[in-house]
Amino acid sequence: MKKPAIFSTMLITSLALLVTACGSSPSTGGASSSPQPKVESSSSAKPSEAPTASPANGKDQVVNIYTARHYEVDSQVYAAFTKKTGIKVNEIKGTAEELVERLKREGTSSEADLFVTVDGGVLNYAKQNGVLQAITSPVIEQNVPKQWRDKDNNWIGIATRARVIVYAKDRVKPEQLSTYEDLATDKWKGKVLARSATSLYNQSLVASFVELDGEAKAEAWAKGIATNLARKPEGGDRDQAKAIAAKVGDVAIMNTYYVGQMLASKDAEEVKVAQNIGVFFPNQSTTGTHLNISGAGLTKNAKNKDNAIKLIEFVTSKEGQTILTQGSFEFPVNETADKPELLKTWGTFKTQQIDFAKLGDHNKKATEILNKVGWK
């Protein structure tokens, strides 16, 4: 099997960093800031306690999850599952790269039943490395449309997110915005804010352009953005919104859910920042807005297979999806979910139509492009 470009040796370090550094502060919001994946429990096990894999017919029913997601609401979803079923959920957190390597190393002795992460490219990387297995569940197939599942059901989408343009409401009119490509023209010189090129979010965005438009156009776009940057990239997506509020720049590239999380924040300053930015879904009359996915896969050596499948059935159910998206502000994969009002105000939008696996396939090229054009 062809080794996917996404994890060439030179990229391992940066990928480990970027999968961690999703939040505004990697030290507080990352999936793991320590080299050793830590164990957390959404149920009654002590946080420091190593999970014990139990047979499905044993008294102590569990599901052990290796997760690279960094959103607090995930634990709330798992707690709701435990309350409903009595099945305990243990979360072992780490970067996606760490966890896939761990699954490979542990082989049949692995305690993990599920692998959970953001990014379709990473989900496919796990599949290509043979650490997942197909899930058979009519319930999941009912809950999750085909477009949000791996074609072999090696992973199941649990939520999606769009990477959009946000703008200063007091200085930019939405009519001035149109496409990602427009953001790379002279019109926006010195006004664009974006996080570092080490961010998987930006790499996957460029990878999507490689897939849709070819390498040359993707590079020209990245060069245009690098030229238009209002400042050297710094911080996470939230920090780009804060820089708009501070009038460092007028427009930023940002994932949709951060806007919702900031509006719901306990930090009054974050709420104010989010209230003063508008959300614009680019490329509506062309290739569509860039969309990425979070997903869960059953590990190849899962010892609590039935419980693990039950958990994905719950996470993708109306109830699970409602809890998840009300907390994370991601888009549900199950349309019956009661999603946040904010998402309803955004309405429907045209999305890029590409195979998520392509994001991983083009990751190396995208990273090369970003380095070449000086998007640090």
Instruction: Count CB-CB contacts under 10 A for residue 8.
Output: 13
CB of residue 22 vs Fe ion: minimum separation in angstroms?
3
Which one, 319 or 330, has the nearer CB to Fe ion?
330
Lay out the site mask for Fe ion across 6-45 (x = CB under 5 A, - = otherwise). Answer: ----------------x-----------------------
Nearest Cα to 358, choosing from 213, 165, 226?
A: 213
* Beta-carbon contacts of residue 374 (< 8 Å; ≥ 6 apart): 223, 226
Across 297-307, b (16+ Cβ under 10 Å) vs e yields bbbbbbbbbeb
CB of residue 54 vs Fe ion: minimum separation in angstroms?
32
Which one, 224 or 360, has the nearer CB to Fe ion?
360
H-helix segments, 191-230: 200-213, 215-228
Nearest Cα to 115, choosing from 242, 129, 204?
A: 129
* Residue 274 · residue 262 · CB < 8 Å: yes
The number of residues that bind Fe ion (CB under 5 A) is 1
Which one, 313 or 330, has the nearer CB to Fe ion?
330
254 binds Fe ion (CB under 5 A): no
Nearest to Fe ion by Cβ — which residue? Answer: 22
Nearest Cα to 142, choosing from 257, 286, 312?
A: 312
Site for Fe ion in 288-317 (CB under 5 A): none
CB of residue 219 vs Fe ion: minimum separation in angstroms?
26
The token pair that represents 364 in the structure block = 């190396």
CB of residue 7 vs Fe ion: minimum separation in angstroms?
20
* Residue 249 · residue 318 · CB < 8 Å: no
The residues facing 133 across adjacent strands are: 298
Which one, 22 or 207, has the nearer CB to Fe ion?
22
CB of residue 262 vs Fe ion: minimum separation in angstroms?
12
Looking up tokens 């438009």, which residue turns up?
A: 213
Which one, 22 or 230, has the nearer CB to Fe ion?
22
Which one, 22 or 193, has the nearer CB to Fe ion?
22
CB of residue 360 vs Fe ion: minimum separation in angstroms?
18
Residues contributing to the site for Fe ion (CB under 5 A): 22
